[in-house]
Structure 1
Amino acid sequence: MKVSGIVELSTIDYPKHASAVVFLAECNMYCGYCQNYEFITKNISEMSAKEVFESMDLMFADALVISGGEPTLQPEAVKELCKLAKEKNFPVKLDTNGTNPEVIKKLVSEKLIDYVALDVKCSFEKYGQITGYTTKINEKILEIISACKKEGIFIECRTTFIPGLMDKLDITEISKTVKDCDLYSIQKYDSEHAHSEEMQKIKPLSDVEMMELGKIAKEHVKNVIVRTFVNEISIK
């Protein structure tokens, strides 16, 4: 498998768990605000799943997060990582952009993952502009949500709000689409670490403005949180 990085211990990537995080290389989207783009395209090592686990000190971790890039571009690698994690009785969280629902449905049906974090980038007519990906993403997102709900797998949908490229209508459309997910999170835009120099110039919303977006989403989704740079706020 193509691996871009390994974090032996994280307290923020898997809620209520101390997790090890594996970043798989490559992605089928190009998002100018991506914080990992240089990392996943240039820092690549060929490793087996066994080598990944052997390279980590798992004394304090109690879960595994598989992230990227887009992990589902390497389905066999994800499957092998999940199997080894399950041998250690680790719950597994998968971060995905939702472009390969068949891969996720197979992992779900085989009980190899416990948590899916699905990035919903923007309103669907803007996907080409913001991500370079245009293939019926809304249908794929609905497939993944349905599969997770059917098998009792926790499904979080999450959106990073980019001022200037997105507006309140994006949040309305997204939240209506993902209304059946277990959690919808709206994340503050981090311009400082954006890949694109142009997008580094975009000023993020204030925390108050972020809360207003959360309230819009709350009209359609039962559980909504807003993630700022320092806080995670549940919308009542």
Structure 2
Amino acid sequence: MKVVISGIVDLSTIDFPKKASAVIFLHGCNMKCPYCHNLKHILQHKKEMTIEELFKDIDFLFADAIVISGGEPTLQKDAVIEIARYAKKNNLPVKIDTNGTHPEVIEELVKNDLVDYVAVDVKCRFDRYREFVKCKESGEEIKNKILNIIDICKSHDIFVECRTTFVPRVMDEEDIKEIAKTVKNCDLYAIQQFEPKDAYDDEFKKLPMPKENELKKLGKIAKEYIKNVVVVRTVNGTFEI
């Protein structure tokens, strides 16, 4: 079968915690997050490849794991399943990045032992989802799908991370509180530093980058609700709260 990709990074030390990974960016997305750093690239670059061609195109000199990312990779369900299956046959751990809109794809990966790490992007307070990321689903639908993914992962002992990119002036403490209350059972919750220079929306390029201390304060707020680990990710590194 053929997969549609927008790019490959042969080696990343930040996309799969504690592993050196190759990152596969699958084409297409069902959201338009204004702060997204790779949406423009994803939409403009498109290449069809077989699974075999895809893996031959990756330099595995240092990478010892695979990250399936996007865009939104679960839009290509068969491609995600086959990439994960091929990776597992070659003894490569698999992580998937998702916006949570297709829990059935995550469930198939989990139940077939094809994924080791699931990272779910939680964009904002759920009542603001349609306005913020221009998605079809309501915030309540998104919320239930994300909770479903957490339950699926926890019941099969698969590590599940939830993460939020914090955008100053657009988001506030209430966003973090509501998200943290919702995803409280995840294994890891990460608050990520917004980088305006990489934003898809030109208006978001004008917004300030949140300060490290501000993010740590938000991390402490999240920690009041999260059972497990809370971290803050900045350009200077990752800090556990």
TM-score (norm 2): 0.96
The answer to whether the aligner puts 1:142 opposite 2:147 as a matched pair is yes
Residue 227 of structure 1 aligns to a residue whose secondary structure is: strand
User: Partners in 2 of 1:211 and 1:139 — Cα distance?
Assistant: 28
* Number of equivalences: 235
1:1-236 equivalences under 5 Å are 1-133=3-135, 134-135=137-138, 136-221=141-226, 222-235=228-241
The amino acid of 1:214's aligned partner reads: G
User: Partners in 2 of 1:50 and 1:129 — Cα distance?
Assistant: 40
User: Partners in 2 of 1:171 and 1:56 — Cα distance?
Assistant: 37
Structure 2 unaligned regions, length at least 5: none
User: Partners in 2 of 1:9 and 1:26 — Cα distance?
Assistant: 22
Query: 1:124-156, CA deviations, whole angstroms, 9 ceiling, x for partnerless residues?
Result: 001011101233100000000000000000000
4+ aligned runs moved over 4 Å, structure 1: none
Residue 60 of structure 2 aligns to a residue whose secondary structure is: coil
Query: 1:182-212, CA deviations, whole angstroms, 9 ceiling, x for partnerless residues?
Result: 0000001110100111010011221111110
The amino acid of 2:195's aligned partner reads: D
Structure 1 unaligned regions, length at least 5: none
How far the C-alpha of 1:59 sits from its partner, in A, is 2.1
The amino acid of 1:202's aligned partner reads: L
Residue 185 of structure 2 aligns to a residue whose secondary structure is: coil
Residue 41 of structure 2 aligns to a residue whose secondary structure is: helix
Residue 58 of structure 1 aligns to a residue whose secondary structure is: coil
User: Partners in 1 of 2:169 and 2:127 — Cα distance?
Assistant: 15
User: Partners in 2 of 1:187 and 1:145 — Cα distance?
Assistant: 20
